[in-house]
Amino acid sequence: MDKKKGKILVLDDEQIVLDSVSRILESENYEVKGCRRGEDAIETLREGGFDLLITDLKMPGMNGLEAMAALLEVDPDLSVIMLTAYATVDSAVQAMKMGAVDYCRKPFTPDQLTEIVEGAMNDRRARFEKRYREDTFAEIKKAISSTLNLKEVLDLIVQGVVKVMKVKGSTLSLLDKNRAKLRVFAHYGLSREYVDKGPLETSRSISDMTLNGKPVWIEDASTDPRVQYPAEAMREGIASILSVPLLVRNKVIGALRVYTSQPRIFTEDENEFLYGFAEQVAFAIENARSYEDVKDEYETLRDDLWDYFDKEGWA
Amino acid sequence: MSAGARPKATVLVIDDEQIVHESVRRILEEEGYRVEGAFRVEKALHLLSEGSFDLVLTDLMMPDRSGMDAVEAVARDHPDTGVVVFTGFATVNSAVQSLKLGALDYLPKPFTPQELLDVMERALEKTRKARRDKEIAKTYADAELAIRSSLDIQEILKLICDSVVRLFKAKGASILVLRKSDGVLEAVTSVGLSDEYLQKGVLDSRKSVAKGLVSKKPILVEEADFNTNLHYPEAARKEGIAAILSVPLQLGDAMLGFLRIYSGAKCSFDEEDMELLTRFADQGARALENAMSYEEVRKNIEGLKKAIPGPIARKMEE
């Protein structure tokens, strides 16, 4: 069988419940481990890799709430579902306040169980993706703020955004001096041919919106009239484009774009992340540019001086 | 509650029964809460959009809408307000749903005054903690962005000090730079400290923060240890300092100096604070490094300009 959907620990003092829960979830392609005592569950959990705990409430010895507390101590990220034939308001409130994601009554149908588990797995995935984004973002920020080399800064940004948002590719464009055209300065995950397709006129297309400081979301690049090069986008296998402005002190300096290969709607979290990312990196670009400017000034001055000495024959 | 005293917290009670409002109000007001009431969910949502509340206490079964709508609306639109459900028709399903939607607690009616007060107290604590965490995260993000967006050394140093004072509500902060030649720590920037305290005398790094230089970890010195661990314990006491936290500023392996935070109250930097500070110091050090690279090139330019004899410079400009 192919990759398992998740690893689940089931704790119930009745073998028959363990068997039926295991059968239902295994047929849904989950890996299931069953335990009849809280102490055994703690041992099993130490194996690692578990996503979910499904626990009974009333058990001899350690009850479900106690077991839940002990297991969360071992793995604070474990998602917990409580299943019980003795549902009470009190234990439901207690379990939920301790961090259970759900609390359900026994008996249940296979469909009900599957639905509860899928719901918990989805929440879990969203939570982990968010954490992954935040952690990776912190790393990228650190790397970006450790250099003043413009090329390096821009490359780190486009690579970082592709990694964090799990998209096909990304480009970073900066405005030219008279603020008429956006030119791509860095790209990742896209062919050179696509990147070099031509300048993006600011009077047209997505750029117009971007330059007004607004994000642009294109769900279907092949039909959207705002796309300047739809044929090229199709050839490249681009489905959706999201473009956000790079702003420094409320002034647009360029745009950061992400390209997906599947039509995709970004979640609010993802959008928020991209705006935050753009805000943070814009300053790094500005700093690197200031540094390059002052270095250029220095080098020009040095060369001029050199030329002068040459001409006068003092060298 | 005595007139004019600051309320402990502001609570909005949503219930369709007059008698419930009266009894809840009596119990809570006696403990110093300020209480407002609404008989309908609609009215409550309106009050929420206009005022600011620390907690909402809502019934579930009401004639116009379910109290669950209020729970959902508070969790979604007023993340700084905590919500607690109380109901005469307690069921497992509504309890689970309330908590899933973001309620902090679920209290079946009837309850004793003490039960209500305990629930409200715990909910208030959670709400305040969440609010403070959010505030710190925001202040931190703003400060980090400001620091990273500058290439001016003096400005960065000042921003670092201002930010930590704001983040930790500290008395003051300073940045001490390690002078390589003689190991003296020189205060280059400070906020919240008197000139007298700053000029108290020479700080020899080999004595005062030697441990931090080796371990590269933050060092906390509290009032009780001033005599053994500080150069100038009396000056610190006179300044009204109760604790000093020194966080190393380093670039790679090189030690730049220390970021110091001075607390007026007996100190409470927990592990989270320490981690935040270490991260902050790290960002600050990087920003400083960039600013120093920039400054160096600037200085080179100045140097070159000075090296050019006057007549040549004038000819070059032509």
Same domain, A167 and A115: no
Q: Is A308 on the interface with B (CB under 8 A)?
A: yes
The residue among A75, A95, A127 that closes a domain is A127
Which residues, other chains included, contact B188 with Cβ-Cβ below 8 Å and sequence gap of 6+?
A: B157, B175, B176, B177, B257
Burial bucket for residue A53 (CB in 10 Å: 0-12, 13-18, 19+): buried
Q: Is B91 on the interface with A (CB under 8 A)?
A: yes
Which of A87, A97, A145 lies at the smallest CB-CB distance from B99?
Answer: A97
Distances (CA, A) of B212 to B7, B259, B268, B280: 44, 11, 19, 17
DSSP line for A29-90? T-EEEEESSHHHHHHHHTT----EEEEES--SSS-HHHHHHHHHHH-TT-EEEEEESS--HH
Q: Is B304 on the interface with A (CB under 8 A)?
A: yes
At B1 the pLDDT is 45
Judge contact between A242 and A217, C-beta under 8 A. yes
Which contacts qualify for B111-118: CB closer than 8 Å, 24 or more apart? B111/B86, B113/B27, B116/B24, B116/B27, B116/B28, B116/B86, B117/B27, B117/B28, B117/B31
For residue B115, which residues of chain A lie inside 8 Å, CB to CB?
none
Q: pLDDT > 90: what percent of chain B?
A: 39
Q: Is B164 on the interface with A (CB under 8 A)?
A: no
Compute the average pLDDT of residues B229-251. 85
The residue among A63, A92, A127 that closes a domain is A127
Same domain, A213 and A151: yes
How many domains does chain A fold into? 2
Same domain, A153 and A113: no
For residue A105, which residues of chain B lie inside 8 Å, CB to CB?
92
* Number of CB pairs, chain A paired with chain B, less than 8 A apart: 84
Same domain, A234 and A269: yes
Which among A93, A112, A292 is the top mutation candidate for probing chain B, defined by the most B β-carbons within 10 Å of its own β-carbon?
Answer: A93
**Helices A89-97 + B92-101 axis angle, to 10:** 20
Judge contact between B55 and B8, C-beta under 8 A. no
Backbone phi, psi, residue A89, to 5°: -60, -45
What is the nearest CA distance from A280 to chain B, expressed in angstroms? 7
Question: ipTM score of the complex?
Answer: 0.76
Residue A53 covered by a domain: yes
Using CA coordinates, name the residue in chain A closest to B152.
A287
Residue A182 covered by a domain: yes
What is the nearest CA distance from A222 to chain B, expressed in angstroms? 36
Summarize pLDDT for B277-300 with one digit per residue, the tens: 888 888 888 888 888 888 888 888
Which among B125, B151, B153, B295 is the top mutation candidate for probing chain A, defined by the most A β-carbons within 10 Å of its own β-carbon?
Answer: B151
The residue among A127, A161, A185 that closes a domain is A127
Residue A312 covered by a domain: no
Domains of chain B, with CATH numbers?
9-131 (3.40.50.2300), 150-287 (3.30.450.40)
Judge contact between B245 and B173, C-beta under 8 A. no
Same domain, A55 and A158: no
Strands B219-222 and B243-251: antiparallel
Residue A290 covered by a domain: no
Summarize pLDDT for A164-186 with one digit per residue, the tens: 888 999 999 888 777 777 888 99
User: Which residue range is the domain that position A172 belongs to?
Assistant: 145-285
At A313 the pLDDT is 60
Q: Strand ranges (DSSP E) for A227-272?
A: 240-248, 251-260
Same domain, A179 and A252: yes
What is the rounded CA–CA span in Å between residue B136 and residue B94?
34
For residue A102, which residues of chain B lie inside 8 Å, CB to CB?
96, 100
Cross-chain Cβ contact B290/A298 below 8 Å: no
Summarize pLDDT for A25-69 with one digit per residue, the tens: 999 999 999 999 999 999 999 999 999 999 999 999 999 999 999
Confidence of residue A311 (pLDDT cuts 50, 70, 90): low
Closest of A295, A291, A271, A156 to residue A214, by C-alpha: A271
Same domain, A206 and A75: no
Distances (CA, A) of A54 to A39, A92, B220: 15, 14, 44
What is the nearest CA distance from A196 to chain B, expressed in angstroms? 31
Judge contact between B257 and B203, C-beta under 8 A. no
Distances (CA, A) of A187 to A169, A236, A273: 7, 14, 19
Q: At residue A225, does pLDDT exceed 50?
A: yes
Cross-chain Cβ contact A298/B297 below 8 Å: yes
Phi-psi region of B240 (alpha: psi -120 to 50; beta: other; left: phi over 0): left
| Lookup: tokens for B268 | 């409470």
At A315 the pLDDT is 45
For residue B99, which residues of chain A lie inside 8 Å, CB to CB?
92-93, 96-97
Q: What is the CATH number of the domain that holds A106?
A: 3.40.50.2300
Same domain, A276 and A167: yes
Q: Is A306 on the interface with B (CB under 8 A)?
A: no
CB atoms within 10 A of CB A306: 11
What is the rounded CA–CA span in Å between residue A309 and residue A18?
90
Q: Is B282 on the interface with A (CB under 8 A)?
A: yes
Same domain, A152 and A258: yes
Which among B278, B290, B295, B318 is the top mutation candidate for probing chain A, defined by the most A β-carbons within 10 Å of its own β-carbon?
Answer: B290
For residue B298, which residues of chain A lie inside 8 Å, CB to CB?
294
CB atoms within 10 A of CB A187: 23
Residue A307 covered by a domain: no
Same domain, A107 and A202: no
| HSE of A178, CA atoms in CB hemisphere, 13 A | 3
Closest of A278, A244, A247 to residue A144, by C-alpha: A278
Which among B149, B150, B298 is the top mutation candidate for probing chain A, defined by the most A β-carbons within 10 Å of its own β-carbon?
Answer: B149
At A201 the pLDDT is 57
Burial bucket for residue A229 (CB in 10 Å: 0-12, 13-18, 19+): middle
What is the rounded CA–CA span in Å between residue B111 and residue A203?
67
Strands B105-108 and B82-87: parallel
| Lookup: tokens for A128 | 């982990």
Q: At residue B79, does pLDDT exceed 70?
A: yes
Q: Is B95 on the interface with A (CB under 8 A)?
A: yes
Cross-chain Cβ contact A102/B99 below 8 Å: no
Same domain, A154 and A261: yes
Using CA coordinates, name the residue in chain A closest to B103.
A97
Most confident listed range (A39-48, A243-252, B168-177, B248-257): A39-48
Residue A25 covered by a domain: yes
Give kind and range of the element (H or E) at residue A8.
strand A7-11
State the distance between the two ends of chain A, measured CA to CA, in whole angstroms.
77
Query: What amino acid occupies position B111?
Result: F
Only one residue has tokens 């009215």, namely B43
At B185 the pLDDT is 83
Q: Is B76 on the interface with A (CB under 8 A)?
A: no
Residue A311 covered by a domain: no
Residue A297 covered by a domain: no
More confident residue, B164 or A79: A79
Backbone phi, psi, residue A313, to 5°: 75, 30
Q: Strand ranges (DSSP E) for chain B?
A: 9-14, 33-38, 55-58, 82-87, 105-108, 172-178, 184-191, 203-204, 219-222, 243-251, 254-263
Q: What is the CATH number of the domain that holds A178?
A: 3.30.450.40
What is the rounded CA–CA span in Å between residue B172 and residue B192?
4
DSSP H helical ranges for A98-229 = 110-144, 150-165, 192-195, 205-211
Cross-chain Cβ contact B148/A148 below 8 Å: no
For residue B145, which residues of chain A lie inside 8 Å, CB to CB?
279-280, 283
Same domain, A157 and A28: no
Using CA coordinates, name the residue in chain B closest to A123.
B100
Backbone phi, psi, residue B75, to 5°: -60, -35
Tell which A residues from 82 to 141 touch B, by Cβ distance under 8 Å: 87-89, 92-93, 96-97, 101-103, 105
Closest of A102, A79, A68 to residue A6, by C-alpha: A79
